Amino acid sequence: MARKGARPTMWDVAARAGVSQATVSLVLNDVGGGRVAEATKARVLDAVRDLDYRTNAFARTLRSGESGLIGFISDEVASSPFAGKLLKGAQNLAWETGHVILSIDTYDKSELEAAAIDTMLSYRVRGVVYAAMYHRVLDLPAALRDVPTVVVNAQDRDGVVPNVFPDEEPGGYTATQHLLEAGHRRIGMINIQPAESDLPAGTGRLAGYRRALADAGVPFDLDLVRAGHGTIEDGLAAARDLMDATEPPTAIFCGNDRTAWGAYRGLDSLGLRVPDDCSIVGFDNQETLAPSLDPGLTTVELPFEQMARRAVEILLSTQGSYPQNNPIECSLVLRGSVASAKARE
């Protein structure tokens, strides 16, 4: 029996269960296989619970070379509105599998990133989730090539490690198709980047918009497309510009929720109402914004939680390699910002 006030040891568990210390070790490390009878396992686990025994994680690291930690390195994710979902997705699966997340935000500073990687390696992490604030093609730090790594919300330029990212084009297709199904044929789009930019988010969402129009037999009209930078101000100005045209759109697909908020304001400044005068669909499902607009914004959700969960799943997989690219579906969230085009006639 453990001394009063002392932490119970593996020997205490063995004595309580009436087995050897070696048997306790086999059970706790799940390596006994058929060598330990189920009834014996049950006695050991009961003793663990009764004594409130906790394994020595440091000693286990020395024995196995693995700490049970999963590193989570991000650039500016902690300052973005989606940080909670990324960390939640990673942490939930880590916890379910007996691991712990060690998270460091580098604030997009190279010296902090180098220090973060050194820290992860010193703790002998099982692997690293390398997360980006926005979907882009990036250069993976050379030091991460020596440890299992998965890139999240971005893509590794050299194709060295698996990537998990939003499936942008189908997301843009879904948003536009929803407007088409509501009867709209003159549909504008306000993108979140300049026309010359090759960032995957804007190019993918625009490609989805164009493909949905083509599949519906609606000609693509460049006059209905506006570039922007994903800001409220750009959404306001672009929406005013579109609605001032001789033939204004009856609906607008906005490349993100902040742009959609700006579009709401732009319509309001013209004495127009969403969705009575123009339907709006966004992209992100920013929880602090989309449900709070009046009416609530129908939008396409970026799958942050699912992406981080998939990344941890890949790191922990022992069933062979995952595909290099792992796009995750962006689903439509319905609220009140889309009305039937026929209802406007």
Task: Residue count of the chain, please give it.
Answer: 345
Cβ-contact 187, 160 below 8 angstroms:
no
Alpha-carbon span 154 to 133, nearest angstrom: 8
Alpha-carbon span 213 to 187, nearest angstrom: 9
Give the CATH number of the domain where residue 21 resides: 1.10.260
- Residue 199 is assigned to a structural domain of this protein: yes
- Residue 4 is assigned to a structural domain of this protein: no
Please tell me what DSSP assigns to residue 128.
E
Judge if 152 and 19 occupy the same domain.
Answer: no
pLDDT, greater one: 107 or 312: 312
- Residue 312 is assigned to a structural domain of this protein: no
For the chain, the domain total comes to 3
Which of 109, 130, 161 terminates a domain? The answer is 161
pLDDT, greater one: 190 or 16: 190
What is the average per-residue pLDDT within 21-46? 75
Q: Is the pLDDT of residue 227 over 60?
A: yes
What is the average per-residue pLDDT within 57-79? 66
Q: Is the pLDDT of residue 321 over 50?
A: yes
Cβ-contact 290, 267 below 8 angstroms:
no
- Residue 320 is assigned to a structural domain of this protein: no
Judge if 339 and 200 occupy the same domain.
Answer: yes
Judge if 296 and 172 occupy the same domain.
Answer: yes
pTM of the model: 0.80
231: Cβ contacts below 8 Å, ≥ 6 apart: 258, 259, 262
Judge if 184 and 280 occupy the same domain.
Answer: yes
Peptide bond just before 148 cis, omega within 30 deg = no
Percent of the chain with pLDDT over 70: 88
Judge if 174 and 155 occupy the same domain.
Answer: no
Cβ-contact 92, 122 below 8 angstroms:
no
Alpha-carbon span 78 to 115, nearest angstrom: 17
Q: Is the pLDDT of residue 345 over 80?
A: no
Q: HSE on the CB side for 207, CA within 13 Å?
A: 11
Would you state the pLDDT for residue 8?
78
Residue 105 bridge partners (DSSP): 74
> What DSSP letter does each residue of 38-62 carry, written as one string?
HHHHHHHHHHHHHHT----HHHHHH
- Residue 327 is assigned to a structural domain of this protein: no
**Which domain, by its residues, includes 79?**
67-161
pLDDT, greater one: 102 or 98: 102
Judge if 199 and 243 occupy the same domain.
Answer: yes
Least confident of 8-17, 27-36, 306-315: 27-36
Which of 126, 161, 196 terminates a domain? The answer is 161
Judge if 51 and 88 occupy the same domain.
Answer: no
Judge if 179 and 295 occupy the same domain.
Answer: yes
Would you state the pLDDT for residue 218?
97
Give the CATH number of the domain where residue 129 resides: 3.40.50.2300
Residue 226 bridge partners (DSSP): 190
Would you state the pLDDT for residue 123?
81
What is the average per-residue pLDDT within 324-332? 96
Would you state the pLDDT for residue 58?
47
- Residue 111 is assigned to a structural domain of this protein: yes
Would you state the pLDDT for residue 197?
94
